[in-house]
């Protein structure tokens, strides 16, 4: 394609803008992300706790999470993997978008300080505490076929079916089941792009705290990750603690850590102001 | 570019202009060829089972089945139900992404600043094209990006960088079920996925002839 001089100038201007933007996104912001939360750290005040639940291995859990509430997901056995789905409770066509989450933040790895974005350019969940940083955004959960391939014949619960069940109970259906993010799933890629499993990065008592930034519907599936090489299907229980998080402050880590997160929270503010206006 | 065999029956041969969406049904056994006519043009692509649009492309299942973060010859393009929708049988480029999803007006505001909200984007294309088949935004899932270069390093850094596709580079997939294919010929000019200058692509659907 032969470009005119003016088109060439536009291309160069666009490229310069991108290079500046990339430098900001990758170098200046994020400012140093915090270290992982210690496994014996970040206690939850007793009067902030709304609900506790133990989800048995293989099972799923559905809840509504009001804006400002958080859920702590605890890997009590140390061998569990927890996949999640999230939808805007007022309009479930807005949902967790793993692709935007990693692309916009220039990072396939999630850890304390990162946000989970919706397909509408808003922050759905903030990762306000996280002991491990060993999570998977690339490969997602198990299904009947991956279980059969790993464990052979048998009736093993899987994440895909759990999410279809969860969606059904929320009045949604399998069209609403979308790619998921899997916590406590230590998936990495090597220099060739091949997936690796780093089981040693999971520890008993690991937890991650997700704070809802809009009123949300949440589904959680507690099934082994499809890349978990363990030949036996033996998912452990997980504990969930739903609690009232502290007020979202102007200097909140998750909304100031990068320019991208800041803009996502600005989009939340525009949306919430509009929602209040309609009420 | 390897020529399409003279014995093949061409079902469709069309040019998709820069920035424009397109869709068609590809029947089981037919081959879909997507040609990056001018090079460095991201081709955002989605598939739905023609018999049940509730079964659709799954990037995560595709990567898991592939065992790696990229898509190339030999990749099975997987559905949400864990079935192979198409098999990639030729790839003259070698670098395609299925982790970064499509651009949208909304994600552009977060990625590039609020001033980019009113720029045409792939999800606008997908929603318009999907609507012709009775589908809606709810049905738009993260897609395949042919000819888009998204290196992922072992530290988890993730960027969109200059595409490596040259004029005429192409991919070919054989459908293993009847599929609806949606394409958005990506209009993005805020990152290098289109060399900052969106260009036309060519799509050919053909059936192998009798030898
Ligand atoms: Zn695009």
Task: Decide if A99 and B123 are in contact by the 8 Å CB cutoff.
Answer: no
Q: What are the chain A neighbours of B99 within 8 Å (beta carbons)?
A: 99, 102-103, 108, 137-138
Q: Residue A201: how many CA atoms within 13 Å on its side-chain side? A: 19
Is residue B107 within 8 angstroms of chain A, CB to CB? Answer: yes
* Residue A174 confidence (pLDDT): 95
Quick one: chain B helix, strand, coil %, rounded to 5?
Answer: 15, 35, 45
Mean pLDDT, range A145-169, rounded to an integer? 96
Closest partner residue to B158 (CB to CB) among A108, A193, A195 is A108
Global confidence as pTM: 0.96
ipTM of the complex: 0.95
A 10 A CB-CB count for B145 gives 30
Helix (H) or strand (E) holding A253: helix A253-256
Nearest CA in chain B to A110: B156
What is the Cβ-side half-sphere exposure of residue B75, based on CA atoms within 13 angstroms?
31
pLDDT of the residue at A136: 97
Answer yes or no: do B69 and A104 touch at CB < 8 A.
Answer: no
For A15-69, how does the pLDDT look when each residue is reduced to its tens digit (9 = 90+)?
Answer: 999 999 888 888 777 777 999 999 999 999 999 999 999 999 999 999 999 999 9
Tell me which of A100, A137, A228 to substitute to probe the interface with B (most B C-beta atoms closer than 10 Å): A100
Rounded (5°) CA angle B69-B130-B32 = 55
| Angle between helical axes of B105-112 and A259-278 (0-180°, round to 10) | 130
Q: Touching check for B197 and chain A: CB below 8 Å?
A: yes
Backbone angles phi, psi at A88, to 5 degrees: -65, 125
How many residues in total does chain A contain? 279
CB contact under 8 A, B104 and A119: yes
**Cβ-Cβ contacts under 8 Å for B115 (sequence gap 6 or more):** none
User: Quick one: closest CA in A to B36, which residue?
Assistant: A1
3-state SS assignment for residue B107: helix
pLDDT digits (tens, 9 = 90+) for A197-229: 999 999 999 999 999 999 999 999 999 999 999
- Between A and B, how many CB-CB pairs are < 8 A? 165
Cβ contact B138–A180 (<8 Å): no
pLDDT more than 70, % of chain B: 99
Instruction: Inform me whether the pLDDT recorded for A277 exceeds 80.
Output: no
Q: Which of A26, A140, A263 comes nearest B109 by C-beta?
A: A263
Closest in A109, A122, A179 to B142, CB measured? A179
CA B108 from centre of chain: 19
C-beta atoms of A267 and B110 within 8 A: yes
Residues 149-188, chain B, touching A (beta carbon < 8 A): 150, 152-160
Percent of chain B clearing pLDDT 90 (strictly above) = 87
Taking a C-beta distance cutoff of 8 angstroms, is the pair A102, B158 a contact?
Answer: yes
State how far residue A243 is from chain B, nearest Cα, in angstroms. 28
pLDDT tens-place string over residues B120-155: 999 999 999 999 999 999 999 999 999 999 988 888
């Amino acid at each position: 394609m032969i470009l005119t001089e003016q088109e060439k100038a536009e291309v160069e201007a666009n490229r310069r803008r991108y290079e500046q933007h990339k430098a900001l996104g990758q170098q200046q912001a994020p400012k140093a992300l915090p270290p992982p939360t210690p496994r014996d750290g970040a206690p939850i005040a007793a009067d902030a706790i709304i609900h506790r639940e133990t989800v048995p291995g293989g099972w799923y859990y559905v809840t509504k999470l009001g804006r400002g509430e958080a859920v702590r997901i605890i890997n009590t056995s140390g061998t569990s993997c927890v996949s999640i789905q999230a939808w805007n409770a007022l309009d479930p066509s807005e949902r967790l978008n793993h692709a935007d989450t990693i692309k916009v933040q220039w990072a396939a790895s999630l850890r304390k300080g990162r946000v989970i974005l919706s397909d509408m350019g808003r922050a759905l969940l903030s990762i306000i505490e996280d002991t491990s940083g060993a999570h998977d955004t690339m490969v997602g959960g198990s299904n009947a076929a991956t279980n059969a391939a790993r464990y052979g014949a048998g009736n093993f619960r899987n994440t895909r079916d759990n999410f279809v069940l969860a969606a059904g109970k929320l009045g949604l259906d399998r069209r609403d089941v979308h790619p998921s993010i899997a916590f406590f799933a230590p998936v990495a890629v090597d220099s060739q792009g091949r997936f690796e499993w780093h089981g040693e990065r999971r520890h008993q008592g690991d937890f991650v705290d997700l704070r809802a930034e809009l009123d949300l519907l949440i589904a959680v599936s507690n099934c082994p990750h499809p890349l978990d090489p363990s030949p036996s299907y033996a998912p452990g229980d997980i504990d969930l603690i739903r609690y009232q998080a502290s007020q979202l402050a102007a200097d909140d880590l998750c909304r100031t850590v990068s320019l991208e997160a800041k803009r996502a929270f600005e989009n939340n503010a525009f949306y919430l102001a509009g929602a209040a206006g309609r009420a | 570019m390897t020529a399409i065999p003279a014995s093949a029956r061409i079902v469709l041969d069309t040019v998709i202009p820069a920035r424009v969406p397109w869709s068609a049904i590809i029947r089981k056994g037919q081959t879909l060829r997507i040609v990056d006519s001018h090079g460095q043009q991201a081709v955002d692509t989605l598939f739905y089972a023609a018999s049940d649009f509730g079964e659709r492309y799954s990037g995560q299942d595709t990567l898991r089945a592939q065992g790696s973060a990229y898509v190339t010859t030999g990749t099975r393009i997987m559905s949400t139900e864990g079935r192979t929708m198409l098999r990639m049988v030729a790839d003259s480029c070698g670098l395609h992404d299925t982790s970064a999803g499509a651009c949208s007006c909304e994600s552009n505001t977060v990625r590039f600043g609020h001033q980019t909200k009113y720029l045409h984007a792939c999800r606008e294309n997908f929603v318009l094209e999907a609507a012709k088949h009775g589908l809606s935004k709810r049905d738009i899932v993260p897609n395949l990006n042919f000819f888009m270069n998204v290196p992922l390093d072992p530290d988890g850094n993730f960027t969109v960088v200059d595409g490596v596709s040259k004029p005429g580079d192409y991919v070919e997939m054989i459908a293993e079920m009847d599929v609806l294919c949606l394409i958005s010929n990506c209009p993005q000019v805020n990152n290098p996925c289109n060399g900052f200058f969106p260009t036309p692509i060519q799509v050919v659907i053909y059936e192998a002839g009798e030898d």
